[in-house]
Structure 1
Amino acid sequence: MKRYVTGFNGLRTIGVLTVILYHLWPNHVQGGFLGVVLFFVLSGYLVTDSLLREYERSKKINIWKFWGRRIKRLYPLLISIFLLVTPYIIIFQPNLWAGLRSNFLSAVFSVQNWWQISQGSSYFADIAGASPFKHIYYLAIEGQFFIIWPLLLIVLLKFVKKRGRIFIIANVLAILSAILMAVLFVPGADPTRVYYGTDTRFFSLMMGASLAFIWPLNKLSHKVNKKATKIAWQLIIGLSLVLLVAYIFMPAQGTFAYYGGMWLASLASVILVALVAHPSLPANKLFSNPVFEYIGSRSYGIYLWQLPVFAFAEAKVLAPTSWYNLIWQLALILILTELSYRLFELPTQRFDYSNVFEIVQNFIREKGWKLKKNIGPMILSGLILISLGFIIFSPPSPHDQRLIEEKIMAQQVALQKKQLAEANNKVPLSLKTVAEKYEIQPVVAEKASQMNVLALGDSVMVAASTNLQEVFPHMYIDAAVGRQAESLATDLTNAKAKMPNPDAYLIGLGTNGTIKESEIEAAMKVAGNKPVYWMNIHADRVWAKPNNNLLTKTAKKYKNLKIIDWNKKASGHNAWFYSDNIHPKGTGAEEYATLVANSLIKVAK
């Protein structure tokens, strides 16, 4: 019989709360994404322990029953949330309707992570918004683990047999996955592919799975000596401090996270799970209390509901991150979770699906259509069918903003191969045309045409790159989708190889994450005494205001650092941007280039 460990709900509570805090304050709880690592480790351990107990009991593993239990546990709430969120999308955010079918089907077939990768979407560029379903990547990775690992385990138990050897094999697979993560990660680039990939996140699940071979839940001793208890306390305190530091200070896009940081967090989580699993060690009691029991037992629903609520707040609330609004968002998540727990999770777990045909048959008989008796089920069925219809017949996902950026980036790469304008086959616009199109003085257009400017930025600069090069034909642009300030100094040094002695530098970073003062200082060292112009950030992101404040503050320390106030210029002009209100298009891209020209070239009026 399976032993129920109350402390596991405490671990689930920690996992889901850190993820929520990360989505709310990614610049303050930088490592909150590691809550998912804790989920992976715990899932790997519990699933493997359950399969091993079944094998011990019957000398076989019923793979179909296992998959059936997983579907029964996870799918009712997952599908329910899609059905419940769809009416809101249709009424209040119809821009999210396109691609809803693909979102739904990829979630149902547990390939949502790979679908998001194929769409070019970024988990980090839109951390709390745009899609209310992007966090389902976690369920997709787990779903693929639930398919692959039991099959592999059956083979290993049949041919390898000895648990010690299987333990080693499991850890070798984990290490290979962690190595692949490090190999595929590119410092400074958007790490979504590595973050979403099953192949690169598999190690956390396998490390949890390997624990089950040496720490079986039902065979742990109920007696431990005082020395073991003392060591356990030391480990609990030490691991808690280590994980707390990691949850706060390990950035999700930082190099360390992918070069062993997540592996170390997984290892710490494995030890913590082992301590909580033991019936005679203090960890289980420490993580067992009514609050943890409540949140942990509903952690699945809380996890699923968080982004739909945050997406609504971001789209419809003027200040979604104010304390007042944060409180009602968290309250709404708990209310929706409790309702879905009572209405969907509990009933579906107890429901006997073998009677479905009989229930439907009885309902459609003549007696079943009596209005008074069945008005509730009929209305509910109708709403479900309507929601399902909107999902199924949603228009195909268009080239979303991320794909547009990638297309622009491809064009930019082609331009960079021909840099500078003298080597470009394309004839630059006449000075008169530039002055008229961008509404700048002829003298500004003339001076801009002669300036050698080295520009380095993210996808916002990519979106305006064509316009920038029309105004500044000698501008060399090194812009990349998802670029972070972390690698700014290195990227700037590499870009200088293309333009060793620019007249000025233009930097456009800070849209995708927090900027650190040390990163600005490192870039200024690379620039030397040359003028540096930094476009500040116009984005509805929690780090935008802190980044802009930091840029303004740091600029006071350098005579050659000037901040171009793009945020002020762009505010109130939603028509200048794509639907994300971040990336300029058309008139917005022209205004971006105009602002740069007037900022770099001061002319007496």
Structure 2
Amino acid sequence: MSKKKRILSYDGIKGISIIAIILYHLFPSYLPGGFLTVNTFLALGGYFFTYKVEQIEFNSAKRDWSSIWHYFKNTLSRIFFPLLWMMGSVVIGLLLFDRTQLLSIRDDLFSGLFLYNNLYQISADKSYFVRMTEASLFTHLWYNSLYIQSFVLAMVGVFITKFLNLKGAVKAIIWSLIAGVSHFALLWLYVPGQDPSRVYYGIDTRFSSFVLGIMTAYMIPVLLNLFYRVKAKKVLYYIIGIISFIGFMGMPFFVKDQQPETYYFFMPLYSVLSMLLIFSITVGVPLVRKVFEIQPLPWIGRRSYSYYLWYYPVIVLWFKLQRQFDGRMYWLYLSIAISLALVSELTYQLIERQRLILPFTTSFNWKEDWREFQLNNRNLWLAPVGLVLFVIMGAGWVMARNDKPLTQFQLEYQLKQVQPSLFEIADKDERAINKVKTRVEQLEKELDTVLISKIETENFFDIAKKALVQTSGVGEEVTQITNDNADVINEINALDPELAALVPDEVKLFASKIRVSFFGDSLILLSAPNALNVFLNSNDLGIQSLQIWKAVGVLTDWISSGEVNDILVINLGTNAGLDDQGMEDFIAAAGDRQLFFVNSDSAVEHRDSVNQIIKKFAEKYDNVHELDWYSYAKDHPEFYWEGEGVHHTPEGADEFAAFTAKELYRFYNGQVPE
């Protein structure tokens, strides 16, 4: 029997889809919707799954359990063993070069290898879109888990419909209803303004993409029969192909992972477009087929699983060296591309194509593998090498623990230092004062009134000028003013001597008078308390993992409380970047306040895009300004915690406070705004 010719276009779709996913992580501002092509992989998976299982006999007369088990085992083998080698290689690398990372990734290891990573990340409330203190090397393995879960659920459903001997059209309708239920779950569970990772990871909300692939497989024969006698059917197929191709290629350039419309509309739409694209290739629309057959798309597509396994660890590991590539980021991206291509090709050739035969490591056919290994004398030398690798790999897995990462411990300790709890205040009188102060603040919010007013510090220049025009007592008043301002300077010096040493006296007096509100994510949460040691009449609101799409609502609520000053210093974008719509909404919510956005020097892959967006909006609006922290801090790695490069050390927090004070002093020419 002749072997069916492989349709390269299917590989081409997979090739362009994996490229889009990788570019989404590297250049989110240029391809913000690259994550959508995950739906395409799921739809293709459902489509080919259906063709495979429909060849297995399963009805009231005969149930071929052997073929079912064989198909399931082969599918699991194709997923599991390349995954095992990727994770094992990473564990060996960590054991040899970065052993401390092993102490906090046990759950990631086991959930990834045993294909429940998406469920683990949901239960642990982990985010796909937030880059916190240390990105896990295995965050991306949620897809493997989702795929195998979809595979198992679909297998049950398909064999039920086969047993009932339903017609293809009826099966297509049933699976379309199941897809609708899954999408309804997405609509029900998605909460606008909150992190969408729950609906992104969930089998209940993502099953629809796999199901639409199944529906396509059943629908194509029905449609071909329906249009068989239609003379203009080729024109119709062309129209379907062109529309689906334009949507497939275009949507990743404008859909954003932070928009509610993405989850309400664009994600299911992209699954439908993927379904129509599969239909167009199957019926042979030349325009669509030829585009996806352009090399190297099919070549990459055949290796897409190996690329998928390696892209996230490679990106995360290289971006730990981001500061060493400042000003030469193209070398970083080139290094990522070369490394990814190399390890992916090795995995594809040696493991996926089984050119490296080691017992128990490439398939579940262990007897056959062992027999082939013994017969092939060329591979005998690999036995001791493989044994050593597995001993090292096993040692790494045994050493793995779920301890808190060192950088997270350092950050939490820093947070406790700047925001001590009531029980950590040693002096009993200070504890009592703090308790009363906290209760008064609660009453102020409940009664919507002000019970305690802040002490205003004197402005040296304004009062000295008035004193000079007095007809008597000039010397005494100037002396008093000088003494008052000396008290302010002494107070700042006592609060934080390290910070005070970085700030000139005239800037201290200016900062002590000006009213600023610091707002943002964990960088503000950790660093703004230091700034308040010089900005004596200011306040702050920092929230861990705050992202631009949620920040608008948080800022609006804070403004409603009446606590937000007319000058806002903002640090956002570290966790998941910024986008134009989010910035527009934030600026509108802030009203006519002066907004000072701090650009980023954190070691995150979207740093440059964040800085570009801030610069663009600073040029667009008169009340929006850029604080160029990047240029100030880029040559000072000591400002950030070693190993994560995202959050300020205590030294970095003091430098941030001093930088902000001096920049505002320069902007306002030393004059406190009314």
TM-score (norm 1): 0.83
Tell me what 1:243 maps to.
248
Tell me what 1:265 maps to.
270
Matched, 1:396 2:399: no
Q: Deviations over 1:566-592 (max 9, x none)?
A: 334433443443432112243333443
SS across alignment from 2:519? strand
The structure 2 residue matched to 1:423, chosen from 437, 441, 444, is 441
- Look up the equivalent residue of 1:423 and give its one-letter code: E
2 CA distance for matches of 1:348 and 1:421?
Answer: 70
Matched, 1:436 2:497: yes
1 CA distance for matches of 2:414 and 2:270?
Answer: 37
Q: CA deviation at 1:69?
A: 1.5
Matched, 1:356 2:379: no
Where in structure 2 are the equivalents of 1:112-123 lying within 5 Å?
Answer: 112-123=117-128
Tell me what 1:105 maps to.
110
Q: CA deviation at 1:391?
A: 2.4
Contact 1:482 1:512 in 2 (8 A): yes
2 CA distance for matches of 1:157 and 1:419?
Answer: 70
Q: Deviations over 1:277-330 (max 9, x none)?
A: 236876445534563432222111122122233233223463398445434533
Q: CA deviation at 1:250?
A: 1.0
Q: Deviations over 1:118-171 (max 9, x none)?
A: 444432333998433222211111011122221243345446945544433432
Tell me what 1:16 maps to.
18
Contact 2:32 2:254 in 1 (8 A): yes
Structure with the greater alpha carbon radius of gyration: 2
Matched, 1:333 2:336: no
Q: Deviations over 1:216-264 (max 9, x none)?
A: 6999899887622222222222221112221111112222211211000
Tell me what 1:587 maps to.
651
Alpha carbons of structure 1 residues 110 and 400: separation in structure 2 relative to 1, 3 Å? farther
Contact 1:506 1:535 in 2 (8 A): yes
1 CA distance for matches of 2:204 and 2:524?
Answer: 32
- Look up the equivalent residue of 1:244 and give its one-letter code: M
Contact 2:142 2:201 in 1 (8 A): yes
Tell me what 1:532 maps to.
595
Contact 2:510 2:665 in 1 (8 A): yes
2 CA distance for matches of 1:289 and 1:263?
Answer: 27
2 CA distance for matches of 1:149 and 1:587?
Answer: 55
Tell me what 2:77 maps to.
72
Matched, 1:168 2:232: no
Matched, 1:234 2:239: yes
Tell me what 1:510 maps to.
573
Where in structure 2 are the equivalents of 1:298-309 lying within 5 Å?
Answer: 298-309=303-314
Task: Give structure 1 stretches of 5+ with no counterpart.
Answer: none
Alpha carbons of structure 1 residues 310 and 153: separation in structure 2 relative to 1, 3 Å? same
Tell me what 1:386 maps to.
392
Contact 1:86 1:387 in 2 (8 A): yes
2 CA distance for matches of 1:305 and 1:322?
Answer: 21
Alpha carbons of structure 1 residues 557 and 15: separation in structure 2 relative to 1, 3 Å? closer
Alpha carbons of structure 1 residues 405 and 203: separation in structure 2 relative to 1, 3 Å? farther
1 CA distance for matches of 2:407 and 2:177?
Answer: 39
2 CA distance for matches of 1:553 and 1:280?
Answer: 43
- Look up the equivalent residue of 1:592 and give its one-letter code: F
2 CA distance for matches of 1:156 and 1:32?
Answer: 35
2 CA distance for matches of 1:373 and 1:268?
Answer: 46
Matched, 1:499 2:562: yes
Structure 1 window deviating more from structure 2 (254-263 vs 335-344): it is: 335-344
SS across alignment from 1:464? helix
Q: CA deviation at 1:61?
A: 5.9
CA RMSD in angstroms, aligned pairs only:
4.4
- Look up the equivalent residue of 1:589 and give its one-letter code: A
1 CA distance for matches of 2:285 and 2:559?
Answer: 62
Contact 1:461 1:508 in 2 (8 A): yes
Structure 1 window deviating more from structure 2 (203-212 vs 26-35): it is: 203-212
SS across alignment from 2:575? coil
Tell me what 2:468 maps to.
none
Alpha carbons of structure 1 residues 87 and 362: separation in structure 2 relative to 1, 3 Å? closer
- Look up the equivalent residue of 1:460 and give its one-letter code: L
Tell me what 2:611 maps to.
548
Contact 1:160 1:166 in 2 (8 A): no
Contact 1:89 1:97 in 2 (8 A): yes
Alpha carbons of structure 1 residues 572 and 211: separation in structure 2 relative to 1, 3 Å? same
Matched, 1:60 2:63: yes
Q: Deviations over 1:503-554 (max 9, x none)?
A: 4222211223443456545544443443322222122234323432443454
Task: Give structure 2 stretches of 5+ with no counterpart.
Answer: 423-435, 444-451, 455-487
Tell me what 2:349 maps to.
342
2 CA distance for matches of 1:407 and 1:225?
Answer: 72
Q: Deviations over 1:442-489 (max 9, x none)?
A: 887787677664443123223335545666687554444443334655
Q: CA deviation at 1:269?
A: 0.4
Q: Deviations over 1:64-108 (max 9, x none)?
A: 333212122111111111122233333344453233433221112
Q: CA deviation at 1:383?
A: 1.5
2 CA distance for matches of 1:380 and 1:569?
Answer: 50
2 CA distance for matches of 1:116 and 1:128?
Answer: 16
2 CA distance for matches of 1:476 and 1:26?
Answer: 33
Structure 1 window deviating more from structure 2 (23-32 vs 310-319): it is: 310-319
Contact 2:349 2:355 in 1 (8 A): no
Structure 1 window deviating more from structure 2 (577-586 vs 48-57): it is: 48-57
TM-score (norm 2): 0.75
2 CA distance for matches of 1:539 and 1:303?
Answer: 26
Structure 1 window deviating more from structure 2 (557-566 vs 144-153): it is: 557-566
Contact 2:350 2:356 in 1 (8 A): no
Tell me what 1:42 maps to.
44
Alpha carbons of structure 1 residues 100 and 513: separation in structure 2 relative to 1, 3 Å? closer
1 CA distance for matches of 2:531 and 2:177?
Answer: 50
Q: CA deviation at 1:601?
A: 6.1
Alpha carbons of structure 1 residues 346 and 524: separation in structure 2 relative to 1, 3 Å? closer
Matched, 1:136 2:141: yes
Alpha carbons of structure 1 residues 282 and 66: separation in structure 2 relative to 1, 3 Å? same
Q: Deviations over 1:390-415 (max 9, x none)?
A: 12322324257679989999999x99
How many residues in Structure 1 have an aligned counterpart in Structure 2? 598
Q: CA deviation at 1:182?
A: 3.4
Contact 1:408 1:462 in 2 (8 A): no
1 CA distance for matches of 2:411 and 2:386?
Answer: 41
2 CA distance for matches of 1:219 and 1:237?
Answer: 18
SS across alignment from 2:233? helix
Contact 1:7 1:276 in 2 (8 A): yes
Tell me what 1:294 maps to.
299
1 CA distance for matches of 2:247 and 2:116?
Answer: 33
- Look up the equivalent residue of 2:41 and give its one-letter code: F
The structure 1 residue matched to 2:634, chosen from 566, 571, 574, is 571
- Look up the equivalent residue of 2:63 and give its one-letter code: K
